[in-house]
């Protein structure tokens, strides 16, 4: 079966709950979309507002306070929000990447630490974090056990590698600049190749459920796992190994992409008609649909990519029009400033205005300038052909 580029776009939108807002709980929504980028604390709220019918931000607060949803360093070495039931497998799948990038970072070694040092320190640190501890407390504990001061980079690498969850610190977005941590409720198995391959297989099947059909390079981009590791885990899914996703489920399907690329998918997953209507959306910064593929043209036209994904990795909040990035937006005094990269018809502007009014209601109760610290990107040149300030609620 050959699938067109536009049909791939619609598959992504359907699985990411972006063709229609769905009446679904926040925990189930996060499981459906696999994970939410969470390095900017307000973004999971905006991401779920785009996807959940009648989204109530307090429900997300409650899910975070109760650790139904957890925030931790996972895919692409960045903070993600995932369901607690997914955390262990996802973390085991990411183990080789996290271990290699954090415990073998040259800065970590230059500070006098080795992977063996971290392995020796982790049990005590995890026991200490059995209840919520501030970042300052955790670093002080590390220095106490180590018997002297440790550089900031050491604490950063250890906390990103260790199976720690970020503990909520309060409004407006549950997590602030002051970080607190608690040991993961279900500890993953670390430094075990079999566990990591099995965990990666779980993660890849969940990825295909939420983002498929997709290629091996797409899966590697989403996870930052080496392509060889991806192929190894994918082999387990294709073979139907007992005890893994695919073991007691239909095996993966293979499709041909528009350029002949081999794509994989789970049987029965939504693949809407390529002409399915896609309403306009105001996407969060770092929304996963913008970052989940090696071929980002699935959602971002190639000529806009460098304007949306900046040189340092900042991924701006975007206008999604007919399923594709058509510009960027930012909150300003009086509403949402929307900058289109190509001319938009009046009915699209009207749809964006409705979205802006609804988003304004969410932001007003939390932080009307949620992305204000990133305004500098707007002063460095964007290819906007038209900019409008759309009134908030």
For helices 152-161 and 115-128, what crossing angle results, to 10°?
Answer: 70
Residue 214 carries which DSSP code?
B
* Alpha-carbon dihedral angle through residues 43, 90, 13, 236, given to the nearest 10 degrees: 170
- CA distances from residue 99 to 218, 253, 297 in whole angstroms, order as listed: 22, 32, 31
Distance CA(307)–CA(313), nearest Å, equals 11
CB 207 within 8 A of CB 34: yes
At 246 the pLDDT is: 61
At 381 the pLDDT is: 86
Block means of pLDDT (10 residues each) for the chain, length 393 residues? 95 98 98 97 98 98 98 97 98 97 94 95 97 97 93 96 97 92 97 96 97 98 96 90 68 93 96 97 97 96 96 96 98 96 98 97 94 94 95 82
Residue 283 carries which DSSP code?
P
Tell me the DSSP string of 216-242.
Answer: HHHHHHHH---HHHHHHHHHHHHHT-T
CA atoms within 13 A on the CB side of 3: 27
Distance CA(326)–CA(342), nearest Å, equals 7
CB 148 within 8 A of CB 103: no
At 1 the pLDDT is: 84
CB 209 within 8 A of CB 15: yes
Q: How far is CA 327 from the centre of its chain?
A: 21
Distance CA(327)–CA(343), nearest Å, equals 10
Q: How many residues does the chain have?
A: 393
Peptide bond into 19 cis (omega under 30): no
Residues 6+ apart with CB under 8 A from 240: 246, 247, 249, 251
Distance CA(51)–CA(87), nearest Å, equals 22
- Across-strand partners of 335? 332, 391
Residue 188 carries which DSSP code?
P
Peptide bond into 172 cis (omega under 30): yes
At 247 the pLDDT is: 66
At 118 the pLDDT is: 95
């Amino acid at each position: 079966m050959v699938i067109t580029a536009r049909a791939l776009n619609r598959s992504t939108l359907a699985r990411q709950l972006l063709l229609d807002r769905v009446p679904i709980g926040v925990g189930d929504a996060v499981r459906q979309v696999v994970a939410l980028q969470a390095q900017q604390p307000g973004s999971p709220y905006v991401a779920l507002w785009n996807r959940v019918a009648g989204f109530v931000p307090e429900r997300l607060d409650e899910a975070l306070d109760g650790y139904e949803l957890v925030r931790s360093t996972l895919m692409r070495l960045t903070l993600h929000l995932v369901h607690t039931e997914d955390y262990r497998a996802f973390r085991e799948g990411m183990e080789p990447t996290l271990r290699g990038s954090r415990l073998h970072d040259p800065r970590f070694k230059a500070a006098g630490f080795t992977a063996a040092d971290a392995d020796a320190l982790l049990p005590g640190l995890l026991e200490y974090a059995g209840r919520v501890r501030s970042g300052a407390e955790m670093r002080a504990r590390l220095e106490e056990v180590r018997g002297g001061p440790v550089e900031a980079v050491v604490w950063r690498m250890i906390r990103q590698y260790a199976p720690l969850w970020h503990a909520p610190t309060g409004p407006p977005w549950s997590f602030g600049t002051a970080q607190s941590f608690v040991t993961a409720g279900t500890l993953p198995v670390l430094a075990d190749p079999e566990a990591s391959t099995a965990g990666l297989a779980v993660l890849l099947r969940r990825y295909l459920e939420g983002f498929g059909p997709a290629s091996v390079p797409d899966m590697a981009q989403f996870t930052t796992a080496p392509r060889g590791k991806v192929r190894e885990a994918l082999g387990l899914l294709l073979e139907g190994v007992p005890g893994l996703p695919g073991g007691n489920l239909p095996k993966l399907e293979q499709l041909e992409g528009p350029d002949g690329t081999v794509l994989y998918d789970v049987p029965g997953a939504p693949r809407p008609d390529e002409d399915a209507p896609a309403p306009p959306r105001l996407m969060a910064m770092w929304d996963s649909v913008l970052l989940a593929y090696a071929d980002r043209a699935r959602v971002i036209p190639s000529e806009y990519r460098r304007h949306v994904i900046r040189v340092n990795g900042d991924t701006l909040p975007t206008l999604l029009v007919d399923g594709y990035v058509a510009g960027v937006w930012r909150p300003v005094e009086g509403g949402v400033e929307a900058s289109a990269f190509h001319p938009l018809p009046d009915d699209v502007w009207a749809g964006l205005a409705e979205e802006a009014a609804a988003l304004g209601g969410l932001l007003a109760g939390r932080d009307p300038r949620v992305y204000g610290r990133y305004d500098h990107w707007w002063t460095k040149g964007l290819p906007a052909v038209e900019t409008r300030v759309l009134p908030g609620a």
